[in-house]
Structure formats: C-alpha cells, structure tokens
Structure 1
Amino acid sequence: MKDASVSICPVPEEQRPVNEYQELTESWFFSWGTLDWPQYLTKLAWVWAWSCSISGPLAAASFAPAKYPAQFALCGAAGAGFILGLALLRLYLGWFYVRSRLWNPTVVYEESGWYDCQSWPKTPEVLLQDQLIVNYQLEPILKRLRQTFYGLISLLVAGGLIWNCL
C-alpha cells in the first residue's frame, strides 16, 4: 500500500525528485558515478583515450611528433584532459541538479508547460526520505566526482610544470 502523503502529491511522476534520481541511476552516462572505482576509472580512461583521437591530430599540427615528441604528447594529453573535464562537468552538474531537487523542501514543477510553474511543499516524511537519499547516495557520488576533478587538475598542472622544464 502506498503512503498517503505520496498519493496526494500533485507533482507529475516524471518530475518528482526521487524519480529523477532513479532515472539518473539507470541512465547510460550518469550511472558511471555509481560504479565501483575500477569500473568508473575504466570508463573515464576510455573517454580520455577517445579524446586523444581528437586532440592528437590537433597537437600533431602544432608540434611534429618526430621533432617535438614531449610537446606533442603533453599537448595531446592536455587536450584529451580538457574533453574529459567537460564530460566530468556534465556528470557533476546532472547529479548536483538532482541533489538540489531532493534537498529542497519544496518541489517546483510544471503541469502542462513552462508558463504554469507550481510548487508543492514536501511533507516531513518525503523530505526526510529525500534528505536520506542525498546524504547516503548522492554525496558519495558528488565527492567522487570532485576527487576526480582534483586529480585531473593535478595532472594538468604537472603537465604544465613539465612543459616549462622542456
């Protein structure tokens, strides 16, 4: 039997924050944040490797690989890192949006279009459930994405320092 507070919720099913969260966990791209560390890093390594196929020729146009191999490698890796950073940013923003929808005590929704915005104050039970999801499910995902950003930035800074030594 469904909880009475959920059944009186006027928010359409697809706009309920808990359903948006579930949708992200089941999506192809956003589910990467829920994977174990080795699987997660493997996905990111694939993005970086495919990004090298874009940034490599651009780096080769600037630095001939035979004449400047270190500059070519650093420039290609930095370009691939930039594309990886964009993918990570998209992951972070998607999860952060759902986090803010779950954490907020009111749900803003649209009944039939963008012009009829409504809001529904969450019941204490729904708010508690949503905040538990944020604390125990979303915060670890967002923490992992922040750590990945810090690692990527560290690698880019290290590449810049190596570049200055060349």
Structure 2
Amino acid sequence: MEQIFYNSYCPVPENQRPLNEFLNFKQSFYFKWLNQKLTNYLFRIILLSIVIFIFSVPIANFYYCYFEYPTKFIFLNCFIIIIFQTLIIIRICLTSFYIKERLNKPFIEYEESSWYDCQTWVKSIKVLKQDRLIYYYNIFPIINRLKKIIVYLILVYNIGFIFNILI
C-alpha cells in the first residue's frame, strides 16, 4: 500500500504516521489470524489452546493431582487456557482501538524528539479519506470479530465456572 497522500511536507516522523502503524499491525502474527476464514482461524485457536494446555498441565498438577481430582484438574487447565486466550484478545483489541483512533482523528499527534513535546499536524482531506477507508475496510471488521470472540470467551468462562461450582 503506497503512501501517496502523505507528501514530503508532512512533519510527522514515518514511524508515527497512522498508516505506517497500521501496516506494522498488519504484518503482525495475530492480525494474519484474524483475517483468515473462520475454519482456519478456529484451527489456529485450537492449536494455540493445545500449546497452552501443554504448558498449563504442570501448573494445574501443582494445585490438583490428576489422579485424585481429574475434573478439577481439567477445569483448571480450561480456565488457564481461557485466561491466556483472553489476554491475547485484549492485546489485539487494544492495538486495534489505538489504530482506529489514530486513523479516524482529523489530526496526528506526534513527538519530534525523545522527550514529550506533543506536536499536532492536521491531515489533509485526501489523507483523512484514505485513513478512514483503511479503517472501515480493514480495522472495523476485525473489531467486530473481536467483539464476538470476547462474548464467546465470556460465555465459555461462565459456563465452566457454573459447572465447576456444581461439581
């Protein structure tokens, strides 16, 4: 994606421009997961769950021995998996909301030096349109998918919590 609308007069350093921040986010590991089809995405989430499960077994075994309390052991592992997945989703949400805010604002706040001096640059109309199009076609669908994922994780967490109380 070319930065044709950020002209040479733009005083914002390249690494602080919203479009470059979006491109860096787009190159990230988790963004690629979120843009895949639902089946591929679910496969990756299940694979991540298996990896987290492998690392959570010693932690859960410390609290509940598998041979004495197998149901509590399994529920504790599921709880650890859900917590780690939730932390990953929250991290992606925070990055998405930050980029959304930077793309939608009609101005860019930036720093020229290493200490905080908070300069602002007003975007031209072309730059603002480009940034908002990027938001509506790339970031907005991800935010909607993340909202659904968070609702499902909360639902699974609550069902597991209620089931754990009953057992």
Q: What is the TM-score with the length of structure 2 in the denominator?
A: 0.89
Structure 2 counterpart of 1:116, one-letter code: D
Distance 1:11 1:35 in 2: 33
Deviation at 1:113, TM superposition (A): 1.7
Against the structure 1 CA distance between its residues 83 and 3, is the aligned structure 2 distance closer, same or farther, given a 3 Å change threshold? closer
Ranges of 4+ aligned residues in structure 1 off by more than 4 Å: 2-5
Aligned to 1:105: 106
1:1-166 matches, within 5 Å, as 6-166=7-167
What's the secondary structure of 1:98's corresponding residue? Answer: helix
Q: Is the 8 A contact 2:5 2:127 kept in 1?
A: no
Percent identity over the alignment is 33
Cα drift, residue 3 of structure 1: 5.2
RMSD of Structure 2 on Structure 1 (CA): 1.8
> Once the 2 structures are TM-superposed, how far is the Cα of residue 119 of structure 1 from its aligned partner?
0.7
Cα distance in 2, alignment partners of residues 4 and 66 from structure 1: 64
What number of residue pairs does the alignment pair up? 165
Task: Compute the TM-score of the two structures, normalised by the length of structure 1.
Answer: 0.89
Whether contact under 8 Å (1:106, 1:120) holds in the other structure is yes
Partner Cα separation in structure 2 for residue 142 and residue 155 of structure 1: 20
The secondary structure found in structure 2 opposite 1:119 is strand
Task: Compare 73-82 and 24-33 and name the one that shifted more.
Answer: 24-33
On the 8 A contact 2:60/2:77 being kept in 1, the answer is yes
- SS state of the match for residue 71, structure 1? helix
CA distance in 2, matches of 1:39, 1:152: 18
* Structure 1 gap segments, 5+ residues each: none
Contact 2:35 2:142 in 1 (8 A): yes
What are the Cα deviations for residues 48-90 of structure 1, in whole angstroms up to 9, with x where unaligned?
2222123222222222212221111111110111011111111
Structure 2 alignment gaps of length 5 or more: none
Asked whether the 8 Å contact 1:54–1:80 carries over to 2, the reply is: no
Separation of aligned partners in 1, 2:150 and 2:5: 42
Q: Distance in 2 between matches of 1:5 and 1:82?
A: 41
